[in-house]
Chains A and B, each alone.
Chain A
């Protein structure tokens, strides 16, 4: 008993450490880039902007910084950093949630086809010259469709569930990516094609202030229920019969979780394109640090995912003058972790 209590305290401390790390990376990201801004100036600009927002513009302290500094911090870096944190948190939480619903630590928004489906929905919306709202809705609907299809195919398969889920996801993903290719083929080569292509690789370089709201609203709307229901997610990882006998309405809970996870995935894809692997890697690291209980896995995924993507985005914009798409960088991390999971899973079965 004492042992459990002390390990609980240790985890609480780790959580605080994770929160501090998140805040530190968040702030440090304002200082990184070709145009240098001193920490003090950045702090002043952010503080005054916060005050201005909180007082609805009535109070706007001013002084001590140049217009260029203000523009770099508020118009260029703030949206990028906020969106990176949101998308990282969203994809990781969606990954952790999908892994619970499908009782499978190997699934993630991209492996399930959710990202590819959402990507197709967004590409279609760009082709049809929809606005931002249209892109998000279309991404959400096709993301949901892809997850449902992958789930149905894996249910009908006679293979074991881990294998069939991954294979079905890969298959549905490839179906939607060929549909996306078709869209690229018919798209106007001057404007739409480069827009779709570059956006699909995953990038935050063109993030603007108004994008923040488009990411913030659906991601928060999806994350809040997942955060509130997080302990109950544990019950979806045991067998259907056991979960029902413990008194929960599994169908309803599963549906709520699928909708929320797909909503945050689609919103991420709509605002930042396809950033793979985050949803697989981050929940895995969260479990390594905090154990399997979703009570901690979900908040840990939010903090770790946000921190991870902010760091990756900093690397993307610092490493060379021409920015490297985020999706490429996350794959460098994600693919080896996936291989490790396959090998470890094999070893676990043998013992």
Chain B
């Protein structure tokens, strides 16, 4: 299972939003797409999901051109977790997770006991089974991300594309969600997530793609690719990278500072 992005460029309203971007990810990879807000991360994701057709380059899903595939075929390989999901109606958590099984349910049928069991198992795996009957407007941001993660688990797609999964979460909840994501990658899932927080790339990703003005500024292992120089340029600010040791494990940490400090 792999996704290959080859030299894609995307132009919108005569403005080049993405320029000559290439990268690939396979089973077990956790890829952080890093960059400040508005560098084209969302556009890049919409291309990888097959929603936007880049004017140049190609995107291959297991070797097949994604734009030659139907929505259903893409959905069997890629699950998408949006930054926020606000349905017009207050569905229960269980109902929301069941929607992930659309591909496995006939056009004219609806989920039965077997599907409900699978959905409950996914909620249990993520530790939020007790929320099943709760309305999804009445749960916290962290619980919502886990619910959407459960929805993509039952979708049975092995590539997870997550748009800023922790953007609206506090430190504790953000860690909980990222830990789940990490353990999924150990089960063989490919995870591609966007973030504007370099420390998340250091802590959780094994690969990083840093985007600046729609171009790849740096790519590779986070600890190698994200130098002080690259990060300073990326965020247009002075950034220092330090190592700290916690419980015998060394973490890299990026901190921005002012010239006089």
Contacts and interface: CB of A to CB of B under 8 A. Distances in A.
Interface stretch (B21-29, B95-103, B209-217): B95-103
Interface string A88-106: 0000000000011001110
B91 A247 contact: no
A153 interface: no
Interface in B81-138: 82, 85-92, 94-95, 99-100, 102-103, 105, 107-111, 116, 120, 129, 132-133, 137
A55 interface: no
A215 B110 CA distance: 29
Given A4-B133, A7-B133, A241 B71 contact: no
B133 A238 contact: no
A84 B88 CA distance: 30
B194 to A, nearest CB: 14
Chain B interface bracket (under 10, 10 to 19, 20 to 34, 35 or more): 35 or more
A209 interface: no
B102 A247 contact: yes
Interface string A75-90: 0000000000000000
B114 to A, nearest CB: 13
Interface stretch (A45-53, A166-174, A191-199, A229-237): A229-237
B46 interface: yes
B145 interface: no
Nearest to B75: A247
Nearest to A295: B110
B92 A291 contact: yes
B122 to A, nearest CB: 13
Contact of B116 (A4, A99, A100, A105): A4
A287 to B, nearest CB: 7
Contact of A235 (B49, B102, B137): B102
Contacts of A348: 137
Contact of A241 (B51, B88, B132): B51
B105 A231 contact: yes
B71 A248 contact: yes
A251 to B, nearest CB: 10
A246 to B, nearest CB: 5
A235 B91 CA distance: 11
Contacts of B139: none
A4 B130 CA distance: 11
B146 interface: no
Contacts of B86: 239
Contacts of A105: 88-89
- The SS class assigned to the A binding surface is helix
Interface string A1-18: 101100100000000000
A232 B107 contact: yes
A241 B80 contact: yes
B108 A229 contact: yes
A1 B102 CA distance: 21
A239 B85 contact: yes
B82 A246 contact: no
Interface string A168-196: 00000000000000000000000000000
A154 to B, nearest CB: 14
A245 interface: yes
B4 interface: no
A323 interface: no
Contacts of B91: 234, 292-293
A230 B70 CA distance: 22
Given A232-B107, A239-B85, A245 B90 contact: no
Contacts of B51: 241, 244
Contact of B87 (A237, A241, A249): A237
A287 B78 CA distance: 32
B181 to A, nearest CB: 17
B155 interface: yes
Closest 9 CB pairs of A and B: A247-B75, A231-B110, A245-B80, A103-B88, A292-B89, A247-B72, A247-B103, A228-B108, A295-B110
20 contacts: A1-B120, A7-B133, A105-B89, A231-B105, A231-B109, A231-B111, A232-B102, A234-B91, A234-B99, A235-B102, A237-B89, A239-B85, A241-B46, A242-B85, A246-B75, A246-B102, A247-B71, A249-B70, A287-B89, A292-B92
Interface of A: 1, 3-4, 7, 99-100, 103-105, 228-232, 234-235, 237-239, 241-242, 244-249, 287, 291-293, 295, 348
Interface of B: 46, 49, 51, 70-72, 74-76, 78-80, 82, 85-92, 94-95, 99-100, 102-103, 105, 107-111, 116, 120, 129, 132-133, 137, 155
Given A100-B88, A103-B87, A348-B137, 16 more contacts: A104-B88, A229-B107, A230-B110, A237-B88, A237-B89, A238-B87, A239-B82, A239-B86, A241-B51, A244-B49, A245-B75, A246-B103, A246-B155, A247-B72, A247-B75, A247-B103
